[in-house]
Amino acid sequence: MPLIKNNQIIDNIWTYVPDDAPLGDESHIILGLERFLAERLQQRSSNKALGVRLAPADDPEKLRPYLDELDLIEVDFPKYADGRGFSQAQLLRRRYAYTGELRAVGEVLRDQILYMHRSGFDTFSTTRADLSDVMAALDEFSLSYQKAADIREAVFGIRQKR
Amino acid sequence: MYRYDEFDAALVNERVSQFRGQVARRIEGSLPEDEFKPLRLQNGVYLQMHAYMLRVAIPYGQLGSAQLRRLAEISEKYDRGYGHFTTRQNIQFNWVELKDIPDVLQDLADVEMHAIQTSGNCIRNVTSDHFAGATADELMDPRPWCEIIRQWSTFHPEFAFLPRKFKIAVTAAAHDRAAIRVHDIGLHMKQQDGTTGFEVHVGGGQGRTPVIAAKVNDFVPESEILDYLEAVMRVYNRFGRRDNKYKARIKILVSETGAEEFSRLVDAEYAAQSAHEKIDLPGDEIERITAYFKGPKLPTRPLESTAFNDARVADPDFDEWAAVNLHPHKQAGYTSVTVSLKPIGGLAGDATTDQMMVIADLAEAFGHDDIRVSHAQNIVLPHIAIDDLHAIYQQLQRAGLATANESLITDMIVCPGLDYCNLANARSIPVGQDIQKVFADPAYQRDIGKLHINISGCINACGHHHVGHIGILGVDRKGQEFYQISLGGRADEKAAIGEIAGKALSQEEIPAAIKQIIETYRSHRTSKDERFIDTLERIGHAPFKEAIYAAD
């Protein structure tokens, strides 16, 4: 599955471990939120790099105390129509100041990628878009009416600076 | 009215290009229908019973003449010579081909229009009082805030995949003509200690679970309102139900959580916003947008117009129309005219290409280029000199647009029903037409006075039957169409959901039943000044129910 970050295809070094599966010997593992909270201390001593996968109903605030030790947060979109991940991303980036990798996984469609990027995602794991699609999608709008987690200023503010 | 600057224009044009690409991918096959669906919906494109339908946004119901002419041209070129004005102040074209829609959107963009977010699970067109900026009874003009909310909600990256659609309405008048209490968010503008702000109502709605909105905040100052709205939206996006489409509107979240707890969640989310998350709408930007809505400079005119009074005497039909279709203007010598799109036996809200052209011409010649669409599916010319009324009337009459029935019994909200809609259980249009025929006599209608009959062909309630003084709901009983009458609904500041009167009736029985209700009202009212809804409130539903079912 192509993984796209900063307009490049990158290799995936991470392995998601389902809640009921044993941990293998991978160096970079992604756990579900509750399992991460339960096994965090134990895994820290094992030299593994830890990431977390948020399901739509998960409260990202639970990760707030541990954001410094996380290199990756995945937000799962099991169905593209379920937009809770957009709020999770905005909270993580803007309110909790998470600066590590924020990856959208699941049903990540080409035409959602711009809004995902604006909400704070920097990496997209998708079978529904290739690199050129993602780059085109991110380029479709030159302006935004609202501030979000990207660097764009809102039109409201731009007008007043003319 | 608001005019696009280069930023608004750029965004709308970029949207057209984006959708052109999406349609091309759909037609070529790389974009499957189930993934295309949310994209087309967020551009107002529905797949209806017979064809694609395009819903075009008319933000807070305001149009200029050039825009209405463009809609007329689209109706001729891409549709079958008419457009359908909706209860959310938009317009729909029913026969547009998918391949043509990007071109239609470009035609719209060229006159500062679009179809953005007119459907889909996102924030929809913001609606408002159709007399805004003209009426004598408003505290201030709500349209600048409608426009600000339009911009803020357009392409909002966080709120494009909400649990369900989301509708916001704003009013600033004592009499609520925007039905704010049956919207997901209803905003009532107020002033407190010299500060402008909003009373916030959340969780109203119609559909299969009608709810009157809960007041969740008495006063949010204008400087904080967008941040407050963000807080409401985030609470809804995170916690609204997604397991069942019919329980996904915010009204269900509010009622299941409890209005108090919901309000607490919003307050907590609002309080947690850090400084850099705030929307930071510059005061100069509020002023800049407000300036667009100053309205035309209307020359001073005498309160009384001799020409008008003489014409009323000379032309009884004009007299009838003038008695019914005018609304008091804030400036002496002027009035707001309702152009009824409810001719007897017609289709509620439909206007032909020629009719749209006539209205556009009249607005240009007499109406300072200002045209509104009302949520009751009529057209309003808000700033008309009383001296000009007879000339306007004569042109409207020639165009079949001079029906004198604004807010009277034949001015019904009627959904398209089984004749046009996939979802309907029963036909609505012929039922409305049959009722209109019973009350077609202008004198009889006027004697009955203000009364709203609303008709829906199914429980989705697009015809607003829950909030009709008399509501009619089409239901399917073993393949037969029946109609349930409800009484006492209203959409104004005393919003209420109508109560079902009794067992459903057949289509043939409905006109007589309505006649019974009306005659009961006429025999019980204290005077002609007591409206139907007030008599109903005073004497209760029992006499009306008895009258409906007396024949059994």
Q: Are B56 and B101 in contact (CB under 8 A)?
A: no
Are A83 and B161 in contact (CB < 8 Å)? yes
3 state DSSP class of B15: helix
3 state DSSP class of B72: helix
Among the partner-chain residues A81, A114, A146, the one whose CB lies closest to the CB of B152 is A146
Cα distance from N-terminal residue to C-terminal residue, chain B: 55
Among the listed residues A154, A153, A156, A162, the one whose alpha carbon sits nearest the alpha carbon of residue B289: A156
Rounded distance between C-alpha atoms, residue B204 and residue B142, angstroms:
20
Residue B173: strand pairing partners: B138
Query: In this model, does residue A41 exceed pLDDT 90?
Result: no
pLDDT of residue B412: 97
Among the listed residues B366, B310, B375, B313, the one whose alpha carbon sits nearest the alpha carbon of residue B341: B375
Looking at this predicted complex, what is its ipTM? 0.97
Percent of chain B past pLDDT 70, that is, above it, reads 99
Are A160 and B285 in contact (CB < 8 Å)? yes
> What domain range is B168 assigned to?
142-291
3 state DSSP class of B522: helix
Q: Do residues B433 and B469 share a domain?
A: yes
Residue B379: strand pairing partners: B339, B373
User: What value does the mean pLDDT take over residues B529-546?
Assistant: 97
> What domain range is A123 assigned to?
3-160
Q: Do residues B447 and B496 share a domain?
A: yes
Sheet holding B45-47, edge to edge: B45-47, B52-56, B91-96, B82-85, B350-352
- Decide which of B398, B433, B448 is a domain's last residue: B398
Interface test with B, best of A128, A141, A156 (most B CBs within 10 A): A156
Are B155 and A119 in contact (CB < 8 Å)? no
Q: Do residues B354 and B427 share a domain?
A: no
Minimal-distance CA residue of chain A relative to B278? A147
Interface test with A, best of B2, B33, B145, B155 (most A CBs within 10 A): B155
Count of CB atoms within 10 A of residue B262's CB? Answer: 23
Are A146 and B279 in contact (CB < 8 Å)? yes
Q: Is residue B266 part of a domain?
A: yes
CATH of the domain at B516: 3.30.413.10
> How many distinct structural domains can be found in chain B?
4
Query: In this model, does residue B363 exceed pLDDT 70?
Result: yes
Cα distance from N-terminal residue to C-terminal residue, chain A: 44
Angstroms from B154 CA to nearest CA on chain A: 7
Q: What is the dihedral of CA B480, B481, B485, B491, to 10 degrees?
A: 140
Query: In this model, does residue B153 exceed pLDDT 80?
Result: yes
Residue at token pair 């044009």? B13
Q: Is residue B499 part of a domain?
A: yes
Rounded distance between C-alpha atoms, residue B146 and residue B133, angstroms:
12
Count of CB atoms within 10 A of residue B531's CB? Answer: 17
Query: In this model, does residue A112 exceed pLDDT 70?
Result: yes
Among the partner-chain residues B10, B155, B161, the one whose CB lies closest to the CB of A81 is B161
Query: In this model, does residue A57 exceed pLDDT 80?
Result: yes
* pLDDT tens-digit readout, B285-305: 999 999 999 999 999 999 889
Q: Do residues B165 and B284 share a domain?
A: yes
**Size of the A and B interface in Cβ pairs below 8 Å:** 108
* pLDDT tens-digit readout, B509-521: 999 999 999 999 9
> How many distinct structural domains can be found in chain A?
1
Are B157 and A87 in contact (CB < 8 Å)? no
3 state DSSP class of B101: helix
CATH of the domain at B18: 3.90.480.20
pLDDT of residue B552: 59
Q: Do residues B320 and B382 share a domain?
A: yes
Please report the sign of the dihedral spanned by the C-alpha atoms of residue B283, residue B286, residue B289, residue B294. Answer: negative
Among the listed residues B218, B156, B521, B361, the one whose alpha carbon sits nearest the alpha carbon of residue B379: B361
Minimal-distance CA residue of chain B relative to A77? B161
Q: Do residues B427 and B513 share a domain?
A: yes
Put simply, whether A82 touches B (Cβ < 8 Å) is yes
Among the partner-chain residues B10, B274, B280, the one whose CB lies closest to the CB of A143 is B10
Q: Is residue B498 part of a domain?
A: yes
Q: What is the DSSP letter of B177?
A: -
Q: Do residues B424 and B515 share a domain?
A: yes
Query: In this model, does residue B551 exceed pLDDT 70?
Result: no
Rounded distance between C-alpha atoms, residue A139 and residue B14, angstroms:
10
pLDDT of residue A43: 81
Q: Do residues B545 and B461 share a domain?
A: yes
Q: Is residue B124 part of a domain?
A: no
How many Cα atoms occupy the beta-carbon half-sphere of B247 within 13 Å?
9
Q: Do residues B282 and B325 share a domain?
A: no
Q: Are B393 and B322 in contact (CB under 8 A)?
A: yes
Cβ-based contacts of A90 with chain B (< 8 Å): 158, 234
Are B162 and A141 in contact (CB < 8 Å)? no
- From residue B372, how far is each of B1, B108, B378 by CA, in Å? 11, 17, 8
Among the partner-chain residues A83, A140, A158, the one whose CB lies closest to the CB of B18 is A140
Put simply, whether B479 touches A (Cβ < 8 Å) is no
pTM: 0.97
Non-local (6+) Cβ contacts of A38 within 8 A are none
User: What value does the mean pLDDT take over residues B468-479?
Assistant: 95
CATH of the domain at A42: 3.20.20
Query: In this model, does residue B50 exceed pLDDT 80?
Result: no
Put simply, whether B17 touches A (Cβ < 8 Å) is yes
Non-local (6+) Cβ contacts of B435 within 8 A are B409, B410, B412, B453, B510, B511, B514
Put simply, whether B285 touches A (Cβ < 8 Å) is yes
* pLDDT tens-digit readout, A120-151: 999 999 988 889 999 999 999 999 999 999 98
Q: Is residue B114 part of a domain?
A: no
Put simply, whether B299 touches A (Cβ < 8 Å) is no
Among the listed residues B368, B366, B343, B360, the one whose alpha carbon sits nearest the alpha carbon of residue B72: B360
Are A142 and B282 in contact (CB < 8 Å)? no
Q: What is the DSSP letter of A23?
A: P
CA B446 to chain centre: 24
Cβ-based contacts of A160 with chain B (< 8 Å): 282, 284-285, 288
Minimal-distance CA residue of chain A relative to B283? A160
pLDDT of residue A44: 77
Rounded distance between C-alpha atoms, residue A83 and residue B158, angstroms:
8
Q: Do residues B88 and B146 share a domain?
A: no
DSSP one-letter string for B419-464: GT-SS-SS--HHHHHHHHHHT--HHHHHHH-S--EEEESSTT-TT-
Which range among A56-60, A131-135, B46-50, B421-425 shows the weakest confidence by mean pLDDT? B46-50
Put simply, whether B244 touches A (Cβ < 8 Å) is no
Q: Do residues B320 and B385 share a domain?
A: yes
